[in-house]
Amino acid sequence: MKNLFLTTIIIVCMVLGASEMRAQITEAQLNQVELLKQYFGTWKSDYKDTTEVFVMTPYGKGMQVSFKATTKGKIIYQCKQVWGYDKESDKVLGIQFVRASSSTVLYVCWFTSKNINETIEYAAHNDGKLEKTNSQWKEDFKSRDMFIQSHMVNNKTVSMRTFMRVK
């Protein structure tokens, strides 16, 4: 009886351990640099009277981004971003410079699957400290030419936009 109990415990531990190891292997197999390449190109989203355009081009093991939002032909928001892969964290780090502001925003993003990218935002303060904001994004690639961007604040979705590849 003791042997049966011990054998059962060993088998259960092996099964649980194997599934945990598979989860770690699958996670490690996501090549963040390769997955980031899905963004390269020009992306456009139209919502009511506002158009948003991202132009994303390769830059080292990351990308540089130009973003512009226009309403009725007038620029309402414009920024530049630089994103790069950080091997130590296995995440992609980004920094954003807003044209009409001295504010700097930093981002940490990573693919949780081949189609889903999650991003957390940090604000840089005058004293040099970083503070996590309440904003985060999730982008879901539905195809090579379309992704849906969800913007969450305090873990509640506040907007969803569909971006289509233009080029």
- Provide the CA 27 distance to its chain's centre, in angstroms: 15
Over the stretch 27-68, which tens digit does the pLDDT of each residue have? 558 999 999 999 999 999 999 999 999 999 999 999 999 999
Q: Which two tokens stand for residue 158?
A: 């506040």
Over the stretch 101-116, which tens digit does the pLDDT of each residue have? 777 899 999 999 999 9
Over the stretch 82-139, which tens digit does the pLDDT of each residue have? 999 999 999 999 999 988 777 789 999 999 999 999 999 999 888 888 999 999 999 9
Q: To the nearest whole percent, how much of the chain has pLDDT over 70?
A: 83
Residue 144 region by backbone torsions, left for phi larger than 0, else alpha for psi between -120 and 50, else beta: alpha
Q: Taking the model in full, what pTM does it have?
A: 0.79
9 DSSP β-pair partners: none
